Amino acid sequence: MEKRVALVTGGTRGIGFGCAESLAREGWNLAVCGVRSEGDAQAALQRLRDLGGDVLYVQADIGDDEAPARLVTAVSARFGRLDLLVNNAGVAPKERKDILEASPESFDRVLRINLRGPYFLTQAAVRFMQEAGPRNDPAAKCIVFISSMSSTVASVNRGEYCISKAGLSMASLLWATRLAGEGISVFEVRPGIIRTDMTAAVTEKYDRLIEQGLMLQKRWGTPQDVGRAVAMLARGDLPYSTGQVIMVDGGLTVQRM
């Protein structure tokens, strides 16, 4: 059977690598992108290839208007099909600033990469999915948006990030509504506090909060925790649940008294 193909943005580090690794372990061929050169990403790419799949790397900034077409063209040329898009790539503000001090430049950068980029990559990817495979293709196709607890939990020192993730949550609902009739399921995976490069600068803060009971499960989340959730969705384990949010937050957002 021909291997299925996934495109994972930001797939060579952090949560994106956790997703790519979980898919590779389940026999997927992968296209991954990132802003680093292929040489700088080589260690991660080799780890994915060692799991047995064909791995394509495309250097691309998802916030660039040309990136969606470049990525889809590269996937088409290498694999001729696309079964799964994992919209993972994202950035935090370069400086955490109170919303009274935040700059328009930071706001535009974060929303361009975190929201505008995935929105239009999804558009391009779906058009290719429609062209490459008929609607009666027995292999289910899927779109996954990796958002954040920050889509609903306010952090006034990184407002642009919260707004970008809240927008991504709505994008997931919009695409789920539009694509249900096309046989393409859409999900949002909403991580909590995950140990990655992005959270390295606030390790001490979250170590303390976790110990004080911030979440029900008293540990950091890992990229692999998120990757397992994505792999479950990619397998089609929730075939009657399009448009749903999968929480991967250790119980952080459970309301308690």
Q: Which two tokens stand for residue 177?
A: 């509504």
* Domain region containing 139: 5-248
Position 135 scores a pLDDT of 53
Give me the residue label for tokens 């609607």. 135
Q: Compute the distance between CA of residue 7 and CA of residue 173 in angstroms, rounded to an integer.
A: 20
- Assigned domain for 115 exists: yes
- Assigned domain for 253 exists: no
- Assigned domain for 66 exists: yes
Domains of the chain: total: 1
- Assigned domain for 256 exists: no
- Assigned domain for 254 exists: no
Nearest to 159, CA basis, from 167, 14, 116: 167
Beta carbons of 206 and 220 less than 8 angstroms apart: yes
Buried b (16+ CB within 10 A) or exposed e, 68-85: beebbebbeeebebbbbb
Q: Which two tokens stand for residue 204?
A: 């001490």
- Classify 93 as helix, strand or coil: coil
- Classify 125 as helix, strand or coil: helix
Q: Which two tokens stand for residue 65?
A: 């208007």
Q: Compute the distance between CA of residue 257 and CA of residue 247 in angstroms, rounded to an integer.
A: 20
- As averages over each run of 10 residues, the pLDDT of the chain (257 residues) reads 92 98 98 97 98 97 97 98 97 95 98 98 97 66 97 97 98 98 96 92 93 96 98 96 98 94
Beta carbons of 118 and 169 less than 8 angstroms apart: no
Position 202 scores a pLDDT of 87
**Which CATH number covers residue 114?**
3.40.50.720
Q: Which two tokens stand for residue 127?
A: 């058009």
φ, ψ at 46 (rounded to 5°): -65, -40
Position 139 scores a pLDDT of 63
Q: Compute the distance between CA of residue 172 and CA of residue 43 in angstroms, rounded to an integer.
A: 32
Active site residue 161: yes
- Assigned domain for 257 exists: no
Position 1 scores a pLDDT of 62
Q: Which two tokens stand for residue 30?
A: 């992968």
Residues 6 or more apart whose Cβ sits within 8 Å of residue 75: 5, 7, 31, 56, 82, 128
- Assigned domain for 47 exists: yes
Alpha carbon separation from 48 to 53, 62, 141, 179, 228 (Å, rounded): 7, 21, 22, 30, 15
Beta carbons of 33 and 63 less than 8 angstroms apart: no
Q: Compute the distance between CA of residue 217 and CA of residue 232 in angstroms, rounded to an integer.
A: 21
Active-site residue, from 57, 161, 206, 240: 161
Order of strands across the sheet that contains 5-9: 55-59, 29-34, 5-9, 84-87, 141-146, 184-191, 245-248
- Assigned domain for 187 exists: yes
